[in-house]
Structure 1
Amino acid sequence: MNEVKIRKIIERVIEKIEETVNLPVEASGRHVHLSKEHTVQLFGSEDQLTVKKELSQPKQYQYQQRVTLIGPKGIIQGVTLLGSARGNTQVELSKTDAVKLGLDPPVRESGDLTGSASLLIASEKGVVLAEESTIIAKRHIHMEPADAERLKVADRQKVAVRIMTDRPVVFEDVTVRVNENYRLSLHIDYDEANACNYMPGTQGRIISLE
């Protein structure tokens, strides 16, 4: 086997390795997860909501209906509504969104709502006060157990990820979330996406573990 053939084989192996360690990156815009109680108050029932599309994570979807967020200093209309209903209403914003609304929500992981910001959520049928509902979602990676084993990381571990764009950025303090129902994906908000010049198809790579 000559040197040229060996080099091509090595290049193909390297390409294959890179494919297996890269992370798909998704930019998550502002959105709302309603509780069953708030769903009833705003739409009558969950049956009144129409699924628009499935999301990348299994059993997660976006509704056709939208809501309006009302804060002390501003309003944001046409906000995406995700399903299905949760135990507690959760609103996820970027820092830019929060400033527009006049809020100062904490950076938190999903579900950690104690002491978070409150706001009003409106639909065509009503308005609810969603107390301790609003956070800036902490960047995180969804993955299956097989992905965690391959990447040598564990659930709740913190890692640093390099975003591979023409404006590369390293995001630190990224939480790994492992569940058999997850699909491999790094989630960042639009502020973070703009900082690294994100576009669909962008990938990241874990470069250090904490």
Structure 2
Amino acid sequence: MDQQKLIQLITETVKETIEQSSGSFQRLHKTDIPIAVSNRHVHLSSEDLEWLFGRNYELTKLKELSQPGQFAAKETVTIIGPKGKLPNVRILGPSRGKTQVEISLTDGFIIGTQPPVKLSGDINGTPGVIIQGPRGQLKIKEGLICAARHIHMHPTDADAFGVTNGDIVKIGVDGKRSIIFDKTLIRVSPKYRLEMHIDFDEANAANLKSGTIGKLIRTELS
């Protein structure tokens, strides 16, 4: 091999090594996670949507949500508990396999039913509640939860952060009421966009709003 080709080979090898090292450094030190504050809302099954709004009813899209394919509907319902009610609770679409009502712990005190802190979709053994729509009432046997804090990640985000689906992490938020959100679940899917979800109680405790940036500070094995 002549000297010119040897120099070119060495140059390309060094360049490739630097790029790989730089990529690893960025993945290791990636920490910024946007935070979204979720208000109380309802996911309805197709069957329950028809019961509350009428046969073959379709939700009217109000606005797209940050997660691809999800939207806030114009339609709202009233959530009724033993001691009170929550009017104008937004329905999120599209319809799901099972109806789920997500409220905060403070909301639970208002209606007189304490929702368990559970992951969205995990409704087995949860309390029921009454949902009032324009065409009548529906009493679900289970489905009332306070959604556990969690982070949506696309697989490329998970790779950049060095985490996997099901990992538990800590998220720190700076400010006058700085806080560390412990026991935050990582949820990974090609359908997800990077975003942490918390409810209004958690947001008020830290005096933060949607769009605030949190920092991933440590991971733990789940």
Shared fold (TM-score, shorter chain, > 0.5): yes
- Residue 164 of structure 1: how far off its partner (Å): 2.7
Aligned to 1:203: 213
The CA distance in 1 between the partners of 2:210 and 2:198, in whole Å, is 13
- Residue 168 of structure 1: how far off its partner (Å): 1.0
Aligned to 2:189: 179
Aligned to 2:136: 126
- Residue 20 of structure 1: how far off its partner (Å): 4.9
1:148 paired to 2:161: no
- Residue 163 of structure 1: how far off its partner (Å): 1.6
- Residue 197 of structure 1: how far off its partner (Å): 0.4
After superposition, give the CA deviation of every residue in 1:105-156 in whole Å (9 maximum; x if it has no partner): 2110011111101100001111100111100100000010110011011101
- Residue 21 of structure 1: how far off its partner (Å): 2.5
Contact preservation (8 Å) 2:172, 2:217: yes
Matched to 1:110, the amino acid is S
1:62 to 72, 93, 116: 72
The CA distance in 2 between the partners of 1:94 and 1:106, in whole Å, is 10
More strand by share: 1
Aligned-residue sequence identity (percent) comes to 44
1:26 to 33, 36, 48: 36
The CA distance in 1 between the partners of 2:40 and 2:166, in whole Å, is 24
The CA distance in 2 between the partners of 1:198 and 1:45, in whole Å, is 41
Q: What are the equivalent positions in structure 2 for 1:70-81 lying under 5 Å apart? A: 70-81=80-91
Matched to 2:124, the amino acid is T
Contact preservation (8 Å) 2:52, 2:134: yes
Matched to 1:140, the amino acid is H
- Residue 169 of structure 1: how far off its partner (Å): 0.6
1:207/1:75 Cα in 2 relative to 1: closer, same or farther (>3 Å)?
A: same
1:36 paired to 2:61: no
Contact preservation (8 Å) 1:164, 1:202: no
The CA distance in 1 between the partners of 2:198 and 2:208, in whole Å, is 10
Q: CA RMSD in A?
A: 1.7
Contact preservation (8 Å) 2:50, 2:57: no
1:200/1:87 Cα in 2 relative to 1: closer, same or farther (>3 Å)?
A: closer
The CA distance in 2 between the partners of 1:189 and 1:159, in whole Å, is 17
Structure 2: runs of 5+ lacking an equivalent: 1-25
Structure 1: runs of 5+ lacking an equivalent: 1-16
1:103 paired to 2:86: no
Contact preservation (8 Å) 1:162, 1:170: yes
1:208/1:46 Cα in 2 relative to 1: closer, same or farther (>3 Å)?
A: farther
TM-score normalised by L of structure 2: 0.84
Q: Secondary structure at the match of 2:170?
A: strand
Contact preservation (8 Å) 1:43, 1:49: no
Contact preservation (8 Å) 2:31, 2:217: no
1:87 paired to 2:92: no
Equivalent pairs, count: 195
